[in-house]
């Protein structure tokens, strides 16, 4: 099975993700896959949920926080600005407090509480997750390619249980928050009744989003998850461990892509330095191991290029290498 065939045989898998440790090629493969699918005429959105996003680097366009940007026909990219999202949250909460209690301005006590809550690390994850849900729920594309952060986060996005947990946690937190605001507000301004239905509406809204997002993000029919690895011992061990973890969470893996494979000419050409030849031999060992471990799930072997993959010309070459029918042999 090749990567190209997987896409042909499972056209209903429209949510595409590449997982693996940092620096192995997830962003590169996301961009090249987007390019490949777009050039076949599909409308593709590639978006980054990585705070250290590098879609801007690879496309050589400043897209950070600019919403959806069209890169070439059919290829759209977006880099999520989590900080901005958090600021929007804060504004929403402030507005709610003002509306609910009829204040002129948000009381200092509540303002400092909002600031403290926004500094929580979970807030950034939440903000990113929320944005992902918005993007996917909004629709409008044939393919959604998630440029993922390292593995733990991939699990976070994929496993049904954790998606639910996250949302249930947020509902509980929201309830508690509301109760605290209520107490603060009634201390500051006695007498005014709290509009209960606003809180209920909020919970209802979140509940609807849970079912929509969970059904999309965890749909095994519609999601393709690829592991990226390189032929090195530590990476092979890490990948095996991660694959076991994924199996435990019941996350379907569509296959493995091996990146940075040294070309055969390292051995056939003359004048190639010895260290490169010994690296090639080392890689050959690990490639064999990878094949015996993951067998027909290895979908593509991608060569080491002479430079970083940035700009359309390199992305195109990368896409050709990935989706080449012979890439598995």
Ligand X SMILES: Nc1ncnc2c1ncn2[C@@H]1O[C@H](COP(=O)(O)OP(=O)(O)O)[C@@H](O)[C@H]1O
> Which tokens is 63 given?
């897209």
- Which one, 14 or 260, has the nearer CB to ligand X? 260
Tokens 């290498």, residue located:
321
- Which one, 167 or 323, has the nearer CB to ligand X? 323
- Which one, 101 or 225, has the nearer CB to Mg ion? 225
Residue 259 within binding range of Mg ion, rule CB under 5 A: no
- What one-character DSSP code corresponds to residue 58? H
Pairing of strands 69-72, 75-79: antiparallel
Question: Minimum CB separation from Mg ion for residue 13, in Å?
Answer: 21
Question: Minimum CB separation from ligand X for residue 230, in Å?
Answer: 9
- Which one, 24 or 34, has the nearer CB to ligand X? 24
- Which one, 120 or 308, has the nearer CB to ligand X? 308
Residue 24 within binding range of ligand X, rule CB under 6 A: yes
Contact indicator for 294, 256 with CB cutoff of 8 Å = yes
Stretch that binds ligand X, among 93-101, 113-121, 236-244, 300-308 (CB under 6 A): 300-308
Residue 27 within binding range of Mg ion, rule CB under 5 A: yes
Residue 26 within binding range of ligand X, rule CB under 6 A: yes
Residue 309 within binding range of ligand X, rule CB under 6 A: yes
**What residues form DSSP beta bridges with 79?**
48, 64
- What one-character DSSP code corresponds to residue 189? S
Q: Which helix (H) or strand (E) holds 72?
A: strand 69-72
Question: Minimum CB separation from ligand X for residue 139, in Å?
Answer: 26
Residue 27 within binding range of ligand X, rule CB under 6 A: yes
Question: Minimum CB separation from Mg ion for residue 259, in Å?
Answer: 12
Q: In terms of Cα–Cα distance, which of 90, 155, 141 is closest to 116?
A: 90
Q: Name residues contacting ligand X, limited to 52-71 (CB under 6 A).
A: 54
Strands of 223-229's sheet in order across = 69-72, 75-79, 44-48, 143-147, 15-19, 223-229, 255-261, 298-303
Question: Minimum CB separation from ligand X for residue 262, in Å?
Answer: 10
- Which one, 163 or 319, has the nearer CB to ligand X? 319
Stretch that binds Mg ion, among 19-27, 56-64, 71-79, 244-252 (CB under 5 A): 19-27
Residues 6+ apart with CB under 8 A from 45: 34, 68, 76, 77, 78, 135, 140, 141, 143, 144, 145
Q: Which helix (H) or strand (E) holds 143?
A: strand 143-147
Q: Report the residue number whose CB is nearest to Mg ion.
A: 27
- Which one, 50 or 81, has the nearer CB to ligand X? 50
What is the rounded distance in angstroms from the CA atom of residue 62 to the CA atom of residue 64?
6
Contact indicator for 2, 328 with CB cutoff of 8 Å = yes
Give residues in contact with ligand X (CB under 6 A).
Answer: 20, 22-28, 54, 259-260, 302, 304-305, 308-309
């Amino acid at each position: 099975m090749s990567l190209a065939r997987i896409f042909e045989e499972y056209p209903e898998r429209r949510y595409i993700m590449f997982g693996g440790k940092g620096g192995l090629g997830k962003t590169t493969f996301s961009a090249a896959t987007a390019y490949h699918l777009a050039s076949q005429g599909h409308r593709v959105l590639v978006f980054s949920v990585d705070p250290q996003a590098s879609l801007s680097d690879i496309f050589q366009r400043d897209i950070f926080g600019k919403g959806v940007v069209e890169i070439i026909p059919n290829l759209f990219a977006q880099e999520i600005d989590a900080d901005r999202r958090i600021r929007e949250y804060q504004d929403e909460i402030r507005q709610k407090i003002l509306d609910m209690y009829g204040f002129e301005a948000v009381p200092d006590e509540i303002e400092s509480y909002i600031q403290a809550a926004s500094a929580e690390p979970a807030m950034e994850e939440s903000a990113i997750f929320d944005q992902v849900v918005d993007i996917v729920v909004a629709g409008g594309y044939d393919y959604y390619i998630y440029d993922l952060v390292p593995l733990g986060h991939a699990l976070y996005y994929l496993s049904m249980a954790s998606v639910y947990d996250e949302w249930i946690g947020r509902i509980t937190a929201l309830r508690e928050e509301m109760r605290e605001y209520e107490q603060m507000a009634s201390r500051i301004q006695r007498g005014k009744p709290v509009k209960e239905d606003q809180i209920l509406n909020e919970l209802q809204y979140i509940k609807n989003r849970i079912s929509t997002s969970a059904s999309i993000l965890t749909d095994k029919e519609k999601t393709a998850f690829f592991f990226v690895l390189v032929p090195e011992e530590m990476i092979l061990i890490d990948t095996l461990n991660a694959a076991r973890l994924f199996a435990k969470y019941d996350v379907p893996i569509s296959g493995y892509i091996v990146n940075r494979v040294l070309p055969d000419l390292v051995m056939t050409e003359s004048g190639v330095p010895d260290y490169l030849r010994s690296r090639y031999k080392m890689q050959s060992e690990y490639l064999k191991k990878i094949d015996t471990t993951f067998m027909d799930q290895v979908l593509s072997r991608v060569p080491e290029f002479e430079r970083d993959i940035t700009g359309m010309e390199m992305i195109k070459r990368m896409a050709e290498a990935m989706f080449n029918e012979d890439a598995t042999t």
